[in-house]
């Protein structure tokens, strides 16, 4: 039995000096994200991603060291409690004069301490001393919670930041070697489309696999953990590639003949790079919790959600139309458009009197444009930029105060995950993972490239 | 953008969690010392020798009973402290998620042209 107190992982992580030092460093680093975004410090993104990766490793290793050690300590407490309970049970049944005297002395002492029921509780094995193991376990679970939250946040942010870093790094390359300058060529669109398809398939396979594992009671925790770990092992290069390819499109000029194909494929890649964020966040969440003290209870909860909810997302899609077709659409129709952001401003919105973001979205060939409104939200703060390719879903509007006479515009749809999560496992996950990765920023039903193309 | 209020709430919660963890750690160490003392006083030693050692318990007499009640008091204190730790951990986790929900609402777009 080991009831020693020397610095080891048998204590809750929140009481472990070295583990807390790791946590402090990770939290400080995570908080740095706000400064990077505010300062638009794109050249710091690569270092930041590396830093987050190191913190994520440290946090997970603290949890992995803690779980078996603390469990063993809980077991010590429980065995001790069982031993004491057995001796007391023996005492209750003993018929010797010494045993009688001991029982009476115990009752008297309990009486003197102000709580006469304590003697009975001790003799029946129900006193606090018998519950120490359960409380240590509970404390251990609570102590791991912040480590697991920070781990999921660090992993998710790391991959998103690595993607953005790759985009900006390549885009801002001042010189390129032979073949790295000039216009994109025919065939480049295909490369982008293949990368988009690969990333999209990866997300679909990852989520379908995890859902299937959770639904089937026969799949053990270890297998689910392995699937999550595999996702995280493989995603790094895919995100880097996505960012680099989009950076390359932004750095080079795109001939008019390829414009539509390249911009469509770039947009598909950007959308895939966003959607995979939910899988990354969930894989990190699964990996972390599967190593935690509460892994079995946590898994039971995850299984319950997966069994209750069908897989497919119910996020509204709308009718796919070209930008030029919008004026022909019936007011109130939900449509899906793709195009380039030609204008982005925040200005006063006549009704109600508050600011809104107004976007001018042009067709890829520049033949038509339409104005979009994000009512009372700043799309710039969400990373939308002039020159970005954008896929957006929204409701057709005529005769609104923010539109000129005869103009037809679009109110951007908002994805109400609080409702959708009741009908779909993917939407429930997208909702729950928002602190680690928010797919629909401000619930806006849109996807965009990280900067201009 | 500013998530300052959420950050502050998280930092306050984190401070409370650290305080609760320190209190709980102290209570747990006290409990462990009291358990050891009770084992020694009741002459039943460590875990391996607890079972079936009723004579040892009885031989400890009044001192053993006193030590048992002291250990039980320490266990009650630990129970209270660990519950407070649990509450602080839950609050902290909630504050963390709110803070990061705010931070992840923003993303780097086009940097200003230098």
Query: Least CB-CB distance to A435: which of B88, B101, B107?
Result: B101
Residues of A in contact with B18 (CB under 8 A): 14, 20
Which structural domain range is residue A155 located in?
Answer: 1-172
* Cβ-defined contact of B17 to A14 (cutoff 8 Å): yes
pLDDT (tens digit per residue) in B37-88: 988 888 765 444 555 577 777 777 888 899 999 999 999 999 999 999 999 9
With 0-12 / 13-18 / 19 or more C-beta atoms within 10 angstroms meaning exposed / middle / buried, residue A167 is buried
Establish how many alpha carbons lie within 13 A of residue A261's alpha carbon, considering only the half-sphere containing its beta carbon: 16
Q: How many domains does chain A have?
A: 3
pLDDT (tens digit per residue) in A385-407: 999 999 999 999 999 988 999 99
- Residues B29-64: b if buried by 16+ CB within 10 A, e if exposed: bbbbebbbbbbebbbbebbeebbebbbbbbebbeeb
Distances (CA, A) of A179 to A182, A250, A258, B86: 8, 15, 18, 60
Query: Lowest mean pLDDT: which of A182-191, A223-232, A368-377, B37-46?
Result: B37-46
Query: Is residue A329 located within the same domain as residue A219?
Result: no
Between the two ends of chain B, the Cα-to-Cα distance in Å is 22
pTM: 0.93
Per the model's pLDDT, the better-predicted residue between A210 and A84 turns out to be: A210
| Portion 73-92 of A in contact with B at CB < 8 A | 76, 79-80, 83-84, 86-87, 90-91
* Cβ-defined contact of B72 to A40 (cutoff 8 Å): no
Query: Is residue A295 located within the same domain as residue A227?
Result: yes
State the Cα–Cα distance between residues B110 and A40, nearest whole angstrom: 8
Distances (CA, A) of A199 to A18, A239, B70: 38, 8, 62
Query: Is residue A25 located within the same domain as residue A143?
Result: yes
User: Of A282, A315, A348, at which residue does a domain stop?
Assistant: A315
Touching check for B76 and chain A: CB below 8 Å?
A: yes
Are the C-beta atoms of residues A392 and A372 closer than 8 Å to each other?
yes
pLDDT (tens digit per residue) in B5-36: 999 999 999 999 999 999 999 999 999 999 98
Question: Residue A20 pLDDT more than 70?
Answer: yes
State the Cα–Cα distance between residues A30 and B44, nearest whole angstrom: 51
Query: Least CB-CB distance to A452: which of B22, B79, B110?
Result: B110
What percentage of chain A reaches a pLDDT higher than 70?
Answer: 96
In a domain, A440, yes or no: no
Backbone φ, ψ for residue A359 (5° rounding): -120, 135
Touching check for B104 and chain A: CB below 8 Å?
A: yes
Query: Is residue A153 located within the same domain as residue A218?
Result: no
| Portion 159-218 of A in contact with B at CB < 8 A | 160, 164, 168
Query: Least CB-CB distance to A3: which of B36, B48, B105?
Result: B36
User: Of A121, A140, A172, at which residue does a domain stop?
Assistant: A172
Which structural domain range is residue B52 located in?
Answer: 4-103
Average pLDDT for chain A: 93
| Portion 372-411 of A in contact with B at CB < 8 A | 380-388
pLDDT (tens digit per residue) in A122-136: 999 899 999 999 999
Closest residue by Cα to residue B100 from A437, A289, A282, A36: A437
State the Cα–Cα distance between residues B87 and A241, nearest whole angstrom: 44
Query: Is residue A338 located within the same domain as residue A234?
Result: no
Q: How confident is the model at residue A5 (pLDDT cuts 50, 70, 90)?
A: very low
State the Cα–Cα distance between residues B61 and B42, nearest whole angstrom: 8
Query: Least CB-CB distance to A435: which of B52, B83, B104?
Result: B104
In a domain, B69, yes or no: yes
In a domain, A425, yes or no: no
**Taking CB atoms and an 8 Å cut-off, how many pairs form between chains A and B?**
202
The pLDDT score that the predictor gives to residue A293 is: 98
Distance of CA B56 to the CA centre of its chain: 32
The pLDDT score that the predictor gives to residue A150 is: 96
Is A342 strand, coil or helix?
strand
Query: Is residue A304 located within the same domain as residue A212?
Result: yes
Query: Least CB-CB distance to A84: which of B36, B50, B69?
Result: B50
Average pLDDT on A349-355 reads: 72
In a domain, B57, yes or no: yes
Tokens of A269: 């890649």
Mutate to test the interface with A, among B109, B111, B112, B114 (most CBs of A within 10 A): B109
Query: Is residue A213 located within the same domain as residue A288?
Result: yes
Query: Is residue A31 located within the same domain as residue A167?
Result: yes
Query: Is residue A134 located within the same domain as residue A213?
Result: no
Question: Residue A145 pLDDT more than 90?
Answer: yes
Are the C-beta atoms of residues A397 and A358 closer than 8 Å to each other?
no
In a domain, B76, yes or no: yes
Per the model's pLDDT, the better-predicted residue between A346 and B19 turns out to be: B19
**CATH number reported for the structural domain that contains residue A390 in this entry:** 2.40.50.140
Question: Residue B113 pLDDT more than 80?
Answer: no
The pLDDT score that the predictor gives to residue B114 is: 41
Query: Is residue A142 located within the same domain as residue A218?
Result: no
Q: How confident is the model at residue A34 (pLDDT cuts 50, 70, 90)?
A: confident
In a domain, B114, yes or no: no
Touching check for A99 and chain B: CB below 8 Å?
A: yes
pLDDT (tens digit per residue) in A172-213: 887 656 556 788 999 999 999 999 999 999 999 999 999 999
Question: Residue A247 pLDDT more than 60?
Answer: yes
Closest residue by Cα to residue A60 from A286, A301, A240: A286
Residue A112 CB contacts under 8 Å (≥ 6 apart), including other chains? none
Give just the sign of the alpha carbon dihedral A428, A431, A436, A438: positive
Closest residue by Cα to residue B5 from B108, B104, B95: B95
The pLDDT score that the predictor gives to residue B58 is: 79
Distance (Å) from the alpha carbon of A380 to chain B's nearest alpha carbon: 7
The pLDDT score that the predictor gives to residue A3 is: 42
User: Of A172, A198, A226, at which residue does a domain stop?
Assistant: A172
Q: At what angle do helices A132-171 and A45-93 cross, to 10 degrees?
A: 170
Tokens of A60: 């997970």
The pLDDT score that the predictor gives to residue B112 is: 55
Query: Is residue A13 located within the same domain as residue A153?
Result: yes
State the Cα–Cα distance between residues A314 and A442, nearest whole angstrom: 18
| Portion 239-258 of A in contact with B at CB < 8 A | none
Residue A271 CB contacts under 8 Å (≥ 6 apart), including other chains? A196, A200, A391, A447
Query: Is residue A293 located within the same domain as residue A332?
Result: no
Distance of CA A282 to the CA centre of its chain: 6
Touching check for B47 and chain A: CB below 8 Å?
A: yes
Distance of CA B110 to the CA centre of its chain: 46
Question: Residue A153 pLDDT more than 60?
Answer: yes
* Cβ-defined contact of B100 to A436 (cutoff 8 Å): yes
Query: Least CB-CB distance to B50: which of A15, A87, A106?
Result: A87
Rg of chain A over CA atoms, in angstroms?
29
Residues of A in contact with B6 (CB under 8 A): none
State the Cα–Cα distance between residues A108 and A110, nearest whole angstrom: 5
Nearest chain A residue to B77, by CA? A128
Closest residue by Cα to residue A259 from A336, A325, A168, A339: A339
pLDDT (tens digit per residue) in A88-113: 888 888 888 888 888 899 999 999 98
* Cβ-defined contact of A153 to B100 (cutoff 8 Å): yes
In a domain, B110, yes or no: no
Q: How many domains does chain B have?
A: 1
Touching check for A368 and chain B: CB below 8 Å?
A: no
Query: Apex CA A20: angle with CA A15 and CA A25, to 5°?
Result: 170
In a domain, B38, yes or no: yes
The pLDDT score that the predictor gives to residue A92 is: 87
Tokens of A133: 């193991």
Mutate to test the interface with B, among A128, A163, A340, A432 (most CBs of B within 10 A): A128
In a domain, A159, yes or no: yes
């Amino acid at each position: 039995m080991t009831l020693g107190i020397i610095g080891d992982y048998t204590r809750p992580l929140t009481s472990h000096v070295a583990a807390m030092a790791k946590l402090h460093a990770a939290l400080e680093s995570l908080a740095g994200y706000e400064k990077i975004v505010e300062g638009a410090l794109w050249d710091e993104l690569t270092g930041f991603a590396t830093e987050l990766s190191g913190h994520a490793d440290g946090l997970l290793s603290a949890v992995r060291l803690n779980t078996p050690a603390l469990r063993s300590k809980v077991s010590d407490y429980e065995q001790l409690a069982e031993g004491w309970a057995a001796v007391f049970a023996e005492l209750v049944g003993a018929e010797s004069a010494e045993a009688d005297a001991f029982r009476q002395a115990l009752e008297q002492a309990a009486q003197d301490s102000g709580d006469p029921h304590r003697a009975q509780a001790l003799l029946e094995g129900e006193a606090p001393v018998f519950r120490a193991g359960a409380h240590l376990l509970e404390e251990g679970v609570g102590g791991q919670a912040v480590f697991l939250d920070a781990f999921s946040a660090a992993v998710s942010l790391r991959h998103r930041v690595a993607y953005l870093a790759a985009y900006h790094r390549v885009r801002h390359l001042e010189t390129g070697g032979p073949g790295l300058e000039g216009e994109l060529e025919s065939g480049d669109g295909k490369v982008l489309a293949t990368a988009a398809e690969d990333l999209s398939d990866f997300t679909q396979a990852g989520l379908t696999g995890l859902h299937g594992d959770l639904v089937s009671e026969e799949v053990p925790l270890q297998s689910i953990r392995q699937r999550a770990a595999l996702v995280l092992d493989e995603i790094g290069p895919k995100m880097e590639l996505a960012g680099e390819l989009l950076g390359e499109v932004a750095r080079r000029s795109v001939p008019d003949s390829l414009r539509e194909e390249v911009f469509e494929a770039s947009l598909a890649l950007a959308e895939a790079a966003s959607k995979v964020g939910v899988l990354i966040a969930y894989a990190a969440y699964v990996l972390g919790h599967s190593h935690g003290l509460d892994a079995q209870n946590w898994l039971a909860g995850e299984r319950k959600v997966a069994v209750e909810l069908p897989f497919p997302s119910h996020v509204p899609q709308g009718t796919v139309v070209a930008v030029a077709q919008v004026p022909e659409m019936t007011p109130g129709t939900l449509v899906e458009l793709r195009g380039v952001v030609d204008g982005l401003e925040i200005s006063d919105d006549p009704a109600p009197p508050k600011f809104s973001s107004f976007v001018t979205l042009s067709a890829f060939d520049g033949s038509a444009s339409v104005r979009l409104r994000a009512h009372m939200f700043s799309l710039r703060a969400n990373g939308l930029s002039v020159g970005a390719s954008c896929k957006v879903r929204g409701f057709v509007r005529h005769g609104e105060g923010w539109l000129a006479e005869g103009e037809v515009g679009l109110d951007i749809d908002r994805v109400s995950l609080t409702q959708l999560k009741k009908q779909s496992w993917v939407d429930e996950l997208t909702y729950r993972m928002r602190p680690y990765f928010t797919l629909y920023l401000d619930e806006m039903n849109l996807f965009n490239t990280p900067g201009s193309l | 953008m500013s998530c300052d209020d959420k950050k502050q709430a998280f930092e306050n919660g984190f401070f409370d969690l650290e305080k609760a963890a320190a209190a709980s750690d102290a209570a747990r160490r006290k409990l462990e010392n009291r358990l050891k003392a009770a084992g020694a006083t009741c002459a039943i030693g460590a875990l391996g020798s607890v079972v079936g050692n009723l004579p040892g318990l009885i031989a400890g007499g009044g001192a053993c009973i006193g030590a048992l009640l002291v250990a039980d008091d320490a266990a009650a204190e630990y129970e209270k402290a660990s519950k407070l730790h649990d509450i602080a951990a839950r609050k902290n986790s909630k504050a963390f998620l709110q803070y990061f929900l705010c931070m992840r609402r923003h993303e780097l777009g086009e940097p200003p042209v230098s």
